[in-house]
């Protein structure tokens, strides 16, 4: 076994392995997405029992093996119990984790993604922010952090910064009246401004605004169209979430 390393991270998923163990996927600040075995984590008296679950956030001390890590200790600072105990909250939460796992890579700096997940879970727990708005903000910011986001600051064809615009997922952003021809969906200035804000603002400031139901509907449609062009896998947790509406 290699040397022990301590990382800060969140458990994205946990799979039972063998009789008593679990294989965790952890999104870490220091090493990106990693797999770690928590030996004996399913025994009732295990010190890893509570922390070896999705949503657990804290410090993990690990031994590095050839292809994966083994947990030697964990110190969990937030289990997000209120989220995992709330039926709809947990559905949103599992979807957020699955989208993070889809994008995250090993050995890259995932500190932004980790911060985004943490803030987004806090926003899901905040009853003043609608879950649907949290979802669309999280999705667009996840794509932004990972470098796959629409151009919404000027017309993708001519660079025109005067609206009104339409949104075209196929063209990767907004088109002005001159360039649109028959493409795209009409988008209000408020919806475009919201997208600009989500893309450009720091993660700490993301969940500080509200929009009308009409603008939320526009945002949802645009982000859904954009994601379906870029994400090449069906996310199971998203299908479950959608089936609830
Ligand atoms: Zn144009």
pLDDT in tens, 12-39: 999 999 999 999 999 999 999 999 999 9
pLDDT tens per residue across span 193-223: 999 999 999 999 999 999 999 999 999 999 9
In the reported structure, the alpha carbon of residue 133 is separated from the centroid of ligand 1 by a whole-number distance in angstroms of 29
Nearest Cα to Cα of residue 184 among 159, 167, 170, 162: 167
Q: What does the alpha-carbon distance between residue 96 and residue 168 come to, in Å, rounded to a whole number?
A: 25
3-state DSSP assignment of residue 174 = strand
CA of 147 to the centre of ligand 1 (A): 23
145 and 74 fall within a common domain: no
Closest CA to 13 of 88, 98, 92: 98
- Cα 172 to middle of ligand 1, angstroms: 13
Comparing 44 with 66, the larger pLDDT belongs to 44
| Digit-coded pLDDT (tens) for 220-233 | 999 999 999 988 88
- The β-bridge partners of 74 are 60
DSSP conformation class of 224 = H
Query: Residues 232, 178: one domain?
Result: yes
Tell me, in angstroms, the distance from the centre of ligand 1 to residue 160's CA. 5
Q: What is the Cα–Cα distance from 184 to 192, expressed in whole angstroms? A: 13
Mean pLDDT of 132-157: 97
Residues 26 and 176: their CA atoms lie apart, in Å, by 43
Task: Count the alpha carbons within 13 Å of 70 in the hemisphere toward its beta carbon.
Answer: 10
Distance 237 CA to ligand 1 centre (A): 37
User: What residues does the ion ligand 1 have nearby, CB within 5 Å?
Assistant: 155, 157-158, 160, 176, 178-179
Residue 187 Cα to ligand 1 midpoint, Å, equals 14
Interatomic CA distance for residues 145 and 113, integer angstroms: 7
Same domain, 124 and 168: yes
pLDDT digits (tens, 9 = 90+) for 48-73: 999 999 999 999 999 998 888 999 99
CA of 155 to the centre of ligand 1 (A): 5
What's the gap in Å between 91 CA and the centre of ligand 1?
40
Structural domain harbouring 57: 4-79
CATH number at residue 42: 2.40.50.140
99 and 180 inside one domain: yes
The yes-or-no verdict on residue 1 having pLDDT over 80 is no
- In the reported structure, the alpha carbon of residue 171 is separated from the centroid of ligand 1 by a whole-number distance in angstroms of 12
pLDDT at 118: 96
Token look-up 């709330």 returns 86
Strands 185-187 and 165-168 turn out to be antiparallel
Number of domains in the chain: 2
């Amino acid at each position: 076994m290699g040397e022990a390393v301590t990382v800060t991270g969140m458990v994205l998923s946990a799979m039972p392995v063998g009789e008593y163990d679990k294989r965790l996927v952890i999104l870490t600040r220091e090493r990106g997405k990693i797999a770690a075995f928590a030996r004996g984590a399913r025994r009732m008296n295990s010190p890893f029992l509570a922390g070896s679950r999705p949503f657990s956030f804290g410090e993990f001390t690990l031994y590095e093996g050839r292809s994966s890590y083994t947990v030697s200790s964990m110190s969990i600072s937030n289990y997000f119990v209120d989220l995992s105990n709330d039926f709809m909250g947990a559905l949103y939460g599992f979807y957020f984790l699955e989208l993070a796992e889809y994008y995250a890579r090993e050995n890259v700096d995932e500190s932004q993604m980790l911060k985004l997940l943490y803030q987004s879970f806090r926003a899901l727990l905040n009853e003043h922010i609608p879950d649907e708005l949290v979802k669309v903000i999280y999705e667009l910011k996840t794509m932004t952090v990972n470098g796959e986001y629409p151009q919404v600051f000027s017309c993708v064809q001519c660079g025109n910064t005067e609206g009104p615009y339409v949104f075209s997922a196929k063209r990767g952003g907004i088109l002005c009246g001159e360039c649109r021809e028959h493409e795209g969906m009409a988008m209000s200035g408020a919806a475009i401004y919201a997208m600009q804000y989500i893309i450009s603002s720091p993660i700490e400031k993301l969940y500080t605004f509200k929009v009308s139901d009409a603008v939320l509907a526009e945002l949802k449609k645009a982000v859904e169209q954009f994601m379906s062009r870029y994400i090449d896998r069906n996310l199971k947790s998203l299908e479950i979430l959608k089936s609830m509406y």
